[in-house]
Structure 1
Amino acid sequence: MLTRRDLLRALAATSAGTLAANTFASLRAADTQTWQRGAVATVQPLATKAGVNALRQGGNAVDAAIAAAVTLGVVDQHNSGLGGGCFILIRQANGKLLAIDGRETAPAKASRDMYVRDGKAVPALSQTGPLAVATPGALAAYALALNKAGKLKLAEVVQPAADLAAKGFALDRNYARKLKSTADKLAQFPGSKGALLKADGTAYEEGETLKQPDLARTYQQIAKHGIDWFYRGEFAAMVEAWMKANGGILTAADFAAYQPIVREPLQTTYRDYRIIGFPPPSSGGVHVAQMLNMLEQFELADLNKQGRGALEHLLAEVMKLAFADRAYWLGDPDFANVPRGLIDKAYARELAAKIDLNKASEVKSYGRPPRATENIFAKPPADAPIIDKHTTHIAAADAEGNWVAITATVNTTFGSKIIVPGTGLVLNNEMDDFSISPGQPNAFGLIGAEANAVQPGKRPLSSMSPTIVLRDNQPFLTVGAAGGPTIITQVLQVLVRVLDLHQPLSEAVAAPRVHHQWRPDELRVEQSLPAATVAALQDRGHKIDATAGIGVCQAVSFDPATKAFTGVHDPRVPGSAEGL
């Protein structure tokens, strides 16, 4: 039986940190546990423990997920934190659904061409430094979620994280690797260098202790004074002063104006299941639904039995079609029209009819969904049952019936690379998720159009895809992922493997993944995908890009027969799933 220590040794021993398929298989048998009162899964054991402690203190799954999220802002700052944003999807014990949009917003002084110099877009400006930072939304969203659906107070989930920041923690392999890879950029900013690097500017190594006294103070002030200290007090003033001195445009007024938005969750059906996704500015909810609608036209279990890459090929084809639509149609629905027809079943049948199961097809452009002028958030017509009235993911559920999926981010590794001196908080570079110029790829290679252009107060398009699945109107699965645009395709593949192939959740999360995002026209595959499958995909005409790993996924499921929860963390990185 493979122990966690064996897993870490295997990760260290394999090139590029990838695991062979048989290693994943061994881990599945060793790493699956069940609990009766609830479960939490995250990428970091200390964050998972914080979530479980919240349950132990009388909190519910909402408290647990948010306790884990704020702790990740200490122990996993390269991925997420209070300097970034989030989407929170909740199914409460009473059956009510809640979608809280904590996505960052463009500063009031932002403009459409702010990254254009001499007629050309300069991507570096939107990825590193002061102009890359959008107004953080995570903290406001967490506070709102606790107020609407939690049991604990904000201070009760923030103070333990403050204590951990002050005490320090031993860096895991992933944090140490990310710190080393970005040390040069972090060192450009005195606040970042002082908070995250050694005195000589070098990175801490795996196992060394990182203490963050400034971050501890920030958390302590939030615990003591609430979110006003952050959005309308000292923190906002400190950020504004630094921005003015360093060429930034983010102001205290931007912080004061920020509000999380309660949105209508996106509900669609897939075979016998109801899929609850996040609406725009998430592109994930729309396109997971769109791809499932296309896949509904095929017998996926039969294709999987055929082997020879038959299922992977189909997945690649539906991904291309969906991402072509994403590039043109998706944006902040408060600023751009996002057509309801994207998740229309008839439109999906039309797209599916274009797929050749024997060869890769060229998708030249976006599709034209029906009712293209009808915004996805307009009141649904009576005959439209489809809709009812470097990032991290936290999955949590409890025996009362509360289910939570939180995906949070600062965008790329350590966001903008900026920590304002004295705050300890990594600020996002979420402005790069806008289309800084039509047709200009962002850091993830994604292309956008006018719908996702920069505008003051606008939320950039996101791939974050927190998802909850209901069967017989009862929740039994929550899943989400990290990894830029691969978030969408990771969630899709876990759903397919659980709902169509009936694989155990741990097997579904660990299975080799593929990813296609239309542009560039290449199919990314994990190196653990069998060579025969890769060869079959090449024979069908796919241009293959083999990579060590595609994203990181977390999930929790419930078995009504045994009344037990199963939590699964992605074996591609250290993490944990625990419960009570």
Structure 2
Amino acid sequence: MRTASLYRFLTVLLAGVSLVVAGRACADTFVGQKFAVATVNPIATEAGVEVLREGGNAVDAAISAALTLAVVDGHNSGIGGGCLILIRTADGRLTAIDGRERAPAKATPDMFVIDGKLDPMASQTGPLASGVPGALAAYDKAAKLCGSKPLSRLIEPARHAAAGGFVIDSRLGAVIAGTKEKLRKFPGTRAVYFKPDGTVYREGDRLVQKDLAGTLANVQEHGIDGFYRGKTAEQIGEWMQANGGIMTADDFANYEAVERTPLRTTYRGYTIIGFPPPSSGGVHVAEALNMLEGYDLAAINKRSSVDATHLIAEVMTRVFADRAYWLGDADYVDVPRGLIEKAYAKQLATTIDLDRATPVPTHGTPPEWRQDLFGRHTTHIAAADAAGNWVAITATINTSFGSGVIVPGTGVVMNNEMDDFSIQPGVPNAFGLVGAENNAIAPGKRPLSSMSPTIVLDEQDQPLMTIGAAGGPKIITQVLLGVIRYLDFGQSLADALATPRFHHQWRPNELGLESTASDEWREELASRGHRVTTLPSAGVSQAIAKTKDGRLMAVSDPRVPGKADGE
């Protein structure tokens, strides 16, 4: 059964005008018995649902939806980017698959120092900005380990949408218009997003991507070797060499998706399953929850939502200070496991003043930081089925349309994930994040990620919730708020995602509140010493939770025209 409010109905009648009630937009929500899928695009959600109706499982559905998003939501994710996949299978097994991009073999720590001067734009746009894509390798590994359908079947909705085209919605139309100067720079990209008369495609136009359809068909026929060891890799390598890039066909051939051990921590009797490094999200969602566990958060929020916001913001600040110093690819640098120790969180929490914002000059020092170590623009897909398969996939090409590059003949939008490295210690990236030596560039290394696919298990170790988000560093705070609002504040899943969000990432020292937050909320937080700024949006989340009567509730974030569906 589908739940739809009168407000949502009126929103449709008002031709896309955003309707906000008490600061909350209306989320697209589905409740069903057999399975559920939530993504940012109705075409992708339907691709996942159709796989489930054919007898596939939630893993199959999530992969098919993710591949379809590569076509219909290509400014956010695609096979030219990467992903992190977190899976809980019906038999209780937990799997984490790392499809994060890797630095090319010729990458160096000072590769963005050009003519003796740092050029931060070179890490964001053009041939040097891309890491070796990992998404397709990760989808293939997930399908083989935990799925029930061949990758060729899961790709078909994406290939069909690329070959036959789809109607551009308001969101994609706005992003194309907003990034047209970047897209105009590269002939292969102009050929896709610009019309023969020199204008860009816009809302209501049909976008056909025949080169991308050909690349996907090649993978259907030859498997991922058709991408990593065939024509596509050669085309990209040759273009990079001719245009000042360093990525080669050998970089593609040497790429492997890695199976990692999921992070498993606890929070008030629940089990939180997160992704280990090179994700910073799993570590720091756990670190934040460990700090908050020492407070009666539900009582604090009931007394005053401002008190709760202040406390959570102070926790965010300390978490991001640690992120900037300690986090990196654990295959290359030492990342201390003490960051997720409850004793360390308790120690950090003692520095919080419940009445005033306090300076956080530097990172903390977790216990045994030398010895106890981890082993060596974006979208999220949530899927679950009645058999007990629950999936969280976060996929990305970084900022909108990544590097801006589509290599002619491939149709593939290349990521700009090299910007997620610390191109120099202390130099902010496109999201304002700073980093240290642990996240410096090295050949083959994976850049630090904020992607935070998360699964919550109940007291009986059964799946209760899957959640993830898009939005750069705001991914971490979105997931944290979604979990808190659902578990601690008792909000419905729809309200947990729709309630105005806030974000603090230590540097810059600002507490960002979404524009739908009340003036009173802002003023009271400012009076406590916070430098309050306005965010038009603090990202986009997708989630599924099990209701008290055992059904599956899927919610697509109301900030974008996504879709939750199932049966």
TM-score, normalized by length of structure 1? 0.95
Give the AA of the match of 1:537.
Answer: L
Q: Report the CA distance between 1:374 and its aligned residue.
A: 2.9
Give the AA of the match of 2:511.
Answer: L
Gap change, CA 1:69 and 1:2, over 3 Å in 2: same
Q: Is the 8 A contact 2:29 2:556 kept in 1?
A: no
1:6 maps to which of 4, 10, 22: 10
User: Which secondary structure state, in structure 1, belongs to the residue aligned with residue 234 of structure 2?
Assistant: helix
Q: Is the 8 A contact 1:88 1:407 kept in 2?
A: yes
User: Which secondary structure state, in structure 2, belongs to the residue aligned with residue 366 of structure 1?
Assistant: coil
Q: Report the CA distance between 1:161 and its aligned residue.
A: 1.2
- 1:186 alignment partner in structure 2: 183
Separation (CA, whole Å) in 2 of partners of 1:229 and 1:416:
23
Gap change, CA 1:571 and 1:308, over 3 Å in 2: closer
Q: Is the 8 A contact 1:514 1:523 kept in 2?
A: yes
What stretches of structure 1 of length at least 5 have no aligned partner? 380-389
Gap change, CA 1:214 and 1:3, over 3 Å in 2: farther
Q: Report the CA distance between 1:8 and its aligned residue.
A: 5.4
Gap change, CA 1:172 and 1:241, over 3 Å in 2: same
Gap change, CA 1:229 and 1:498, over 3 Å in 2: same
Gap change, CA 1:393 and 1:550, over 3 Å in 2: same
The reply to whether residue 447 of structure 1 matches residue 444 of structure 2 is no
Matches within 5 A, 1:504-519: 504-519=492-507
The reply to whether residue 564 of structure 1 matches residue 551 of structure 2 is yes
- 2:252 alignment partner in structure 1: 255
Superposed CA deviations along residues 394-429 of structure 1, whole A, max 9, x for unmatched, are: 000001100000000000000000000011110000
Gap change, CA 1:308 and 1:267, over 3 Å in 2: closer
Superposed CA deviations along residues 23-56 of structure 1, whole A, max 9, x for unmatched, are: 636x25xx43311111000000000000001101
- 2:312 alignment partner in structure 1: 315
Q: Is the 8 A contact 1:21 1:511 kept in 2?
A: no
User: Which secondary structure state, in structure 1, belongs to the residue aligned with residue 22 of structure 2?
Assistant: helix
Give the AA of the match of 1:528.
Answer: T
Residue correspondences, number: 562
- 1:373 alignment partner in structure 2: 370
Separation (CA, whole Å) in 2 of partners of 1:309 and 1:329:
30
User: Which secondary structure state, in structure 2, belongs to the residue aligned with residue 40 of structure 1?
Assistant: strand
Superposed CA deviations along residues 91-118 of structure 1, whole A, max 9, x for unmatched, are: 0101000000000000000000000135
2:483 maps to which of 495, 501, 506: 495
The reply to whether residue 269 of structure 1 matches residue 266 of structure 2 is yes
- 2:321 alignment partner in structure 1: 324
- What is the alpha-carbon root mean square deviation over aligned residues? 1.4
Q: Is the 8 A contact 1:21 1:529 kept in 2?
A: no
- 2:128 alignment partner in structure 1: 131
Q: Is the 8 A contact 1:65 1:406 kept in 2?
A: yes
Superposed CA deviations along residues 324-368 of structure 1, whole A, max 9, x for unmatched, are: 000000000000100011011011001111100100011000111
User: Which secondary structure state, in structure 2, belongs to the residue aligned with residue 159 of structure 1?
Assistant: helix
Give the AA of the match of 2:487.
Answer: L
Superposed CA deviations along residues 69-95 of structure 1, whole A, max 9, x for unmatched, are: 000000000000000000000001010
Give the AA of the match of 1:285.
Answer: G
Separation (CA, whole Å) in 1 of partners of 2:9 and 2:196:
32
Q: Report the CA distance between 1:529 and its aligned residue.
A: 1.2
- 1:456 alignment partner in structure 2: 443
- 1:410 alignment partner in structure 2: 397
Q: Report the CA distance between 1:6 and its aligned residue.
A: 3.4
Separation (CA, whole Å) in 2 of partners of 1:123 and 1:359:
36
Give the AA of the match of 1:300.
Answer: L
Separation (CA, whole Å) in 2 of partners of 1:217 and 1:177:
27
The reply to whether residue 553 of structure 1 matches residue 541 of structure 2 is yes
2:201 maps to which of 197, 201, 204: 204
Separation (CA, whole Å) in 2 of partners of 1:94 and 1:10:
46
Separation (CA, whole Å) in 2 of partners of 1:523 and 1:562:
38
Q: Report the CA distance between 1:21 and its aligned residue.
A: 4.4
Q: Report the CA distance between 1:376 and its aligned residue.
A: 3.6
Separation (CA, whole Å) in 2 of partners of 1:321 and 1:173:
38
The reply to whether residue 474 of structure 1 matches residue 462 of structure 2 is yes
Gap change, CA 1:273 and 1:191, over 3 Å in 2: same
Q: Is the 8 A contact 2:273 2:455 kept in 1?
A: yes
Q: Is the 8 A contact 1:526 1:547 kept in 2?
A: yes
Separation (CA, whole Å) in 1 of partners of 2:534 and 2:344:
32
Q: Which segment drifts farther, 97-106 or 3-12?
A: 3-12
Q: Report the CA distance between 1:143 and its aligned residue.
A: 0.2
- 2:301 alignment partner in structure 1: 304
Separation (CA, whole Å) in 2 of partners of 1:378 and 1:392:
27
Gap change, CA 1:518 and 1:21, over 3 Å in 2: farther
Give the AA of the match of 2:545.
Answer: S
User: Which secondary structure state, in structure 2, belongs to the residue aligned with residue 46 of structure 1?
Assistant: helix
- 1:535 alignment partner in structure 2: 523
User: Which secondary structure state, in structure 1, belongs to the residue aligned with residue 311 of structure 2?
Assistant: helix
Q: Is the 8 A contact 1:307 1:533 kept in 2?
A: no
The reply to whether residue 89 of structure 1 matches residue 86 of structure 2 is yes
Q: Is the 8 A contact 2:23 2:517 kept in 1?
A: no
The reply to whether residue 38 of structure 1 matches residue 25 of structure 2 is no
Q: Which segment drifts farther, 5-14 or 279-288?
A: 5-14
The reply to whether residue 398 of structure 1 matches residue 398 of structure 2 is no
- 1:104 alignment partner in structure 2: 101
Identity of aligned residues (%): 57
2:157 maps to which of 157, 160, 172: 160
Gap change, CA 1:11 and 1:329, over 3 Å in 2: farther
The reply to whether residue 50 of structure 1 matches residue 47 of structure 2 is yes
User: Which secondary structure state, in structure 1, belongs to the residue aligned with residue 83 of structure 2?
Assistant: strand
Q: Is the 8 A contact 1:333 1:375 kept in 2?
A: no
- 1:278 alignment partner in structure 2: 275
Q: Report the CA distance between 1:198 and its aligned residue.
A: 1.4
Separation (CA, whole Å) in 1 of partners of 2:397 and 2:525:
34
Gap change, CA 1:363 and 1:533, over 3 Å in 2: same
Separation (CA, whole Å) in 2 of partners of 1:562 and 1:579:
17
The reply to whether residue 424 of structure 1 matches residue 411 of structure 2 is yes
Q: Is the 8 A contact 1:187 1:201 kept in 2?
A: no
Separation (CA, whole Å) in 2 of partners of 1:232 and 1:375:
38
Superposed CA deviations along residues 284-309 of structure 1, whole A, max 9, x for unmatched, are: 00000000000011111111122261
Superposed CA deviations along residues 220-239 of structure 1, whole A, max 9, x for unmatched, are: 11111110010011000000
